[in-house]
């Protein structure tokens, strides 16, 4: 009897994992990493790294990461070595897999210094969703809003004014997997990559949590069935 109850529970766990990998990020907007049992969409995070490397890295550092960490996104050691070798460090030497992500040259935008992005998702209310809304939130200022000199309007940013310009646009990068690089897709992918960088163990933690829930539900059912059997025997 216990097997009859355990099998459906196991199936639920497996189906939950499959469903997490079947999410469509943009239709509607839904990140696979979201929710109690979410997991990092590795394909999206790989594309997001391409967006970071091609668009964001010139202004924003990620000091908490080494190039070798990219293997956790499913890249092979050879791919990681190739990515690192393509990066010239400040001393003119090529990076290695053990090198930290290259720091951009010091800069400011009207006094605003671009933040390090290593844990930006954890530092911003709304996390992944906020990063997406920020990157897609640039546009003309509404009537009655006067922008400060050098600032740009962003609907997602508190106060609506930010010195960072809109940096994403259609085909800002070329995806190796053939995904169409729309502005929205680039924003979603880099948001997923930054979610991973802020919490590299997210998928493992959530998987353990799901297994724990299934296990305790199974134990509860076993306890209930055992209690009923004891009652019947005593009766």
Transcribe 161-219 into DSSP letters.
EESSPP---TTSS--TT-----HHHHHHHHHHHHHHHH-TTHHHHHHHHHHHHHHHHHH
Range of the domain at 199: 38-65+101-204
- Beta strand residue intervals within the chain, DSSP E: 152-153, 161-162
Counting the structural domains of the chain, the total is 1
Strand pairing partners for 184? none
pLDDT of residue 22: 34
Q: Which residue has the higher pLDDT, 211 or 98?
A: 98
138 in a domain, yes or no?
Answer: yes
86 in a domain, yes or no?
Answer: no
User: Which CATH number characterizes residue 115's domain?
Assistant: 1.10.760.10
96 in a domain, yes or no?
Answer: no
pLDDT at 8 over 60: no
**Listed residue (93, 98, 104, 94) closest to 70, CA to CA:** 98
The radius of gyration of the chain from alpha carbons, rounded to an integer in Å, stands at 23
224 in a domain, yes or no?
Answer: no
pTM for this predicted structure: 0.77
Q: pLDDT by residue (tens digit) across 121-175?
A: 999 999 999 999 999 999 999 999 999 999 999 999 999 999 999 999 999 999 9
Helix (H, G, I), strand (E, B) or coil at 76: coil
130 in a domain, yes or no?
Answer: yes
CA distance 191 to 49: 10
């Amino acid at each position: 009897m216990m097997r009859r109850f355990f099998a459906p529970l196991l199936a639920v766990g497996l189906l939950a994992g499959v469903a997490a990998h079947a999410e469509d990020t943009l239709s509607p907007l839904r990140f696979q990493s979201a929710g109690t049992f979410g997991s990092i969409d590795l394909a999206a995070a790989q594309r997001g790294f391409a967006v970071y490397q091609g668009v964001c890295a010139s202004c924003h550092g990620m000091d908490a990461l080494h190039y070798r960490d990219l293997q956790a996104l499913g890249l092979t050691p050879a791919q990681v070595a190739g990515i690192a070798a393509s990066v010239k460090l400040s001393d003119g030497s090529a990076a290695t897999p053990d090198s930290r992500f290259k720091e951009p040259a010091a800069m400011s935008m009207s006094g605003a210094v671009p933040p390090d992005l290593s844990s930006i998702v954890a530092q911003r209310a709304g996390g992944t969703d906020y990063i997406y809304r920020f990157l897609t939130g640039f546009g003309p200022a509404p009537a009655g809003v006067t922008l400060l000199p050098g600032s740009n309007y962003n609907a997602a940013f508190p106060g609506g004014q930010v010195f960072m310009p809109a940096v994403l646009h259609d085909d800002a990068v070329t995806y190796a997997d053939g995904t169409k690089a729309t502005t929205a897709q680039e924003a979603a992918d880099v948001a997923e990559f930054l979610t991973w960088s802020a919490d590299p163990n997210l998928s493992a933690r959530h998987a353990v949590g799901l297994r724990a829930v299934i296990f305790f539900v199974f134990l509860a059912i076993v306890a209930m069935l055992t209690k009923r059997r004891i009652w019947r025997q005593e009766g």
